[in-house]
Structure 1
Amino acid sequence: MTSLRARFALLLVGSIVGVVALASLAAFSVMRPPPHDRTNDPVAMQIRMLVAALAQPGRTVPAGIDIRDAPLPGRPIPELSAAFGASLGRAALPYPVEVVHRSDRPGMAASVRLGDGRWLVVPIPDFSPPPGDWRIFAGWIALIALGAAAVAIYFAALLTRPLEILRAALSRVGPDGVLAPVPEEGPAEVRATAAALNRLSSRLKAAMESRMRLVAAAGHDLRTPMTRLRLRAEFLPEEERAKWLADLDELERIADSAIRLVREGRSEEATETVALDGLVRNLVGEMEALGLSAQAGRIESVPVRAGALGLRRALRNLLVNGATHGKGCIVEVAAEAGAGVITIADRGPGIPEALIDRAFEPFFRVDPGRRQAVPGAGLGLAIAKEIVERQGGSVTLANRPGGGLVQTVRLRRAGGQGPFGALT
């Protein structure tokens, strides 16, 4: 009951049913049966005239008049018998009377004992509510609730439809963090919200592109002073020159990595069907040729939809990360429902749980003191995540229970509906 649509529907149904229930109870309290004297006194006057007519000498009993030797059988109603007897007393007919629910047909009847010992049976109008009135009231409320629920659900869906469109549009945030254009339609408030979101998306995109251009320009402009510094380092003493050249090599790697990160963020590589088993085996062979410890474990045949060059670059970065920082790694490829999964398990120290969410940040190092021991600029994971997410996949990190780190990549399988949406 947390959705706005359900709350709207519940509010409408509760309001309609509550109002109808209160109105019905008020009507029941007002529409009571009339007092017995108002209904019984006219009948008593009719009985008086009928008894007077029958008392005339030689008068025969007219057709339709029910006179019996015994009172009418049925379920007695003592309260009504007393009230009807009082009405007969007011009509100057102090005769015994018995009011019963008839057993031969629905309705009530009064048996009045005449002076000669016979009984005159007269029908009594019944103004009481029908039996089972609360069941009828419950059915009445149930019908109103069902009708109100149908109307409420329809109008709640109609009212919340623009919000659903906004939610669906906002859920389609691109890998670059920019919002997809939101259709500016619906009520005035929804149109104003959509327009504000579209302006926010445009400004965010412009700001991100400006920063990316700034990073690329800074990385490019660093090359000229680094070249001059490299030339000057050649004139330094041997022991100083090696330190200067090592620092310049690291600066150059950082500049190159920054430029590659910007290029990956702006590249739009076309997707195609890529065989993960062949690609992973090829990369494992490439790692072995470079002298890095990487082994192929269980490799299943899984075709995925991705950009071949970008995916190769991303997986290479992850393998290098596992082979260097993780002191060797094992790569496995498995097929899951709608996805191809690559796991890279290493034997390194892992990452502290408090820092594992920061591992994909650019230039992040778990231990800054290892910068010299392990070459790199700290952009490998950031570039891999950028490439994989741009192609509709995901990259996650987790520490192994027995020690080490597991890098998991999930990509859309080719030819089906996967967990990342429809495939083309």
Structure 2
Amino acid sequence: MTSLRNRIAGFMILAIVVVIALATLVAMQMMQRPLPETATIPVARQIAWNVRFAEADPQAAAGAGIVFADAPAPGLPEERSTGRWTRVLGRQGMQHPLVVTADPQGTTMRISVDLGDRWLVLPLPDLRPPRGGWRIFGAWMALIVTGATAVSLIAATRITGPLRILENAVDRIGRDGVLVPIPETGLPETQATARALNHLSARLKSAMESRMRLVAAAGHDLRTPMTRMRLRAEFVEDDDEREKWLADLAELDAIADSAIRLVRDEVTQAAAQDLRLDRLVGDVAQELGALGYRVTVASLAPVTVTADPLLLKRAVRNLVINAATHGKAARVSLSRQVDRAELVIEDDGPGIPEPLMERAFEPFFRVDEGRRKALPGAGLGMAIARQIIDQLGGAVTLANMQAGGLRQRVVLPARAWPVSDRNGSCKRG
């Protein structure tokens, strides 16, 4: 009952059942048989008339169909009915002893009046409520509940149709962040919702493409003036001043290159293939170790993932460089958890304050702006890594360790256990 559709349906079912139940009970009260004391008066008058008629002219009474017997009618005595009929007939002026009996099934009742020398036996109408009345009411309410449930579910489904379109549209967002076109069919409200979402998707796609073109053009156009500035810097006579110029230009060039690469990765949908993640991580660790980074490998479980090798290697490389640069050293481990691969990268750095944890993936973000000159990099490595991992259907999270340092955890969908052939290539097991 957590969804809006189920809540609306439940409310409608409850409202319908309560209203019909109350109406049924009121109708039953208004249409039920008269009260026993009221209903018995006409019957008592008829019984009293038959008794007087039988006492006045027994032969005529017998000829009229009145039954005489030497004993009360056979059956089970009804004490409550006997007392009630004694009181009712007493009000009609009849003081004769009487007894009410019923057959073993309780369906037929007779009243026997003592005339002194014989008994007058008359049939007695059954004024009791019909048997099984509550079972009939229960069946009636079950039928109402069934019908109300069907009607309410259909109505709630139609009411929440536009909301389901929103939910489905969110689930169908592509890796580029753009909504898949939604068919503009169904009810007018549903069509309006689909039309608005398609319009929003088109505007969003146009804005993203415009932003990508702007960033790519800016990064590309910066290369020409930076090249001229680099050439001019070569002619600076002061060695210290020249090195500062060249260092600043190298940083600008790295920023421009990272920006262009970030945009290119957003629009490029490279062909994915099955690859051994443990081998890729091992190659990255060996490569960075050769470049002077402090990288150690704890354990690498054999895991196969589906991804573009270049993009995934770039993401892993950026995360390991971040740990080795800002955390002084990087410890890498890879494990398999059922149907996913889990890559953990730990360092010995100061970590990241909790309020700034999520901002670490923002482009050009620095935890300590004062260390921008002390540490290399353009500030786009983490943003690029997260973007690539998100495109692969995975996730990357950060957490500070209790003993100090930062833990980066990457989770990717894993394929079946890898099986290597004689040539060393990877097959799906």
Same fold, judged at TM 0.5 (above):
yes
Query: Could you tell me how far apart the structure 2 residues matched to 1:281 and 1:348 are?
Result: 22
Query: Could you tell me how far apart the structure 2 residues matched to 1:217 and 1:37 are?
Result: 99
SS at match of 2:175: coil
What is the aligned partner in structure 1 of residue 327 from structure 2? 326
Q: How does 1:77-96 map to 2 (within 5 A)?
A: 77=80, 80-86=84-90, 88-89=92-93, 93-96=94-97
Contact 2:66 2:121 in 1 (8 A): no
What is the aligned partner in structure 2 of residue 239 from structure 1? 240
1:35-57 Cα deviation digits (max 9, x unpaired): 54554434643553465346547
Contact 1:84 1:97 in 2 (8 A): no
Change (3 A) 1:123 1:49: closer
Query: Could you tell me how far apart the structure 2 residues matched to 1:323 and 1:96 are?
Result: 113
Deviation at 1:408, TM superposition (A): 1.4
Query: Could you tell me how far apart the structure 2 residues matched to 1:156 and 1:292 are?
Result: 61
What is the aligned partner in structure 1 of residue 42 from structure 2? 41
Q: How many residues of Structure 1 are paired with residues of Structure 2 in the alignment? A: 413
**Bigger mean CA deviation after superposition, 406-415 or 265-274:** 406-415
Change (3 A) 1:58 1:348: closer
SS at match of 1:283: helix
Structure 1 residue runs of 5 or longer lacking an equivalent are 417-424
Change (3 A) 1:66 1:151: farther
What is the aligned partner in structure 1 of residue 79 from structure 2? 76
Name the aligned partner's letter for residue 85 of structure 1. L
Q: How does 1:334-349 map to 2 (within 5 A)?
A: 334-349=335-350
Deviation at 1:372, TM superposition (A): 1.9
What is the aligned partner in structure 1 of residue 211 from structure 2? 211
What is the aligned partner in structure 2 of residue 383 from structure 1? 384
Residue 249 (structure 1) aligned with residue 250 (structure 2): yes
**Bigger mean CA deviation after superposition, 122-131 or 282-291:** 122-131
SS at match of 1:359: helix
Cα root mean square deviation, aligned: 2.7
Change (3 A) 1:229 1:299: same
Structure 2 residue runs of 5 or longer lacking an equivalent are 418-429
SS at match of 1:269: coil
Contact 2:172 2:180 in 1 (8 A): yes
> TM-score, structure 2 length as denominator?
0.87
SS at match of 1:401: coil
Q: How does 1:173-184 map to 2 (within 5 A)?
A: 173-184=173-184
1:345-378 Cα deviation digits (max 9, x unpaired): 1111111111010000000111122222211000
Name the aligned partner's letter for residue 97 of structure 1. L
Deviation at 1:139, TM superposition (A): 4.5
What is the aligned partner in structure 2 of residue 166 from structure 1? 166
SS at match of 1:350: coil
**Bigger mean CA deviation after superposition, 291-300 or 93-102:** 93-102
Query: Could you tell me how far apart the structure 2 residues matched to 1:186 and 1:113 are?
Result: 81
**Bigger mean CA deviation after superposition, 356-365 or 141-150:** 141-150
> TM-score, structure 1 length as denominator?
0.88
SS at match of 2:412: strand
What is the aligned partner in structure 1 of residue 28 from structure 2? 28
What is the aligned partner in structure 2 of residue 419 from structure 1? none
What is the aligned partner in structure 1 of residue 367 from structure 2? 366
Query: Could you tell me how far apart the structure 1 residues matched to 2:105 and 2:15 are?
Result: 46
Query: Could you tell me how far apart the structure 2 residues matched to 1:146 and 1:322 are?
Result: 62
**Bigger mean CA deviation after superposition, 65-74 or 191-200:** 65-74
Q: How does 1:17-416 map to 2 (within 5 A)?
A: 17-35=17-35, 36-42=37-43, 44-45=45-46, 48-49=49-50, 52-53=53-54, 55-56=56-57, 65=67, 67-69=69-71, 73-77=76-80, 80-86=84-90, 88-89=92-93, 93-99=94-100, 105-114=106-115, 116-131=116-131, 133-134=133-134, 136-236=136-236, 237-414=238-415
Change (3 A) 1:249 1:408: same
SS at match of 1:77: helix
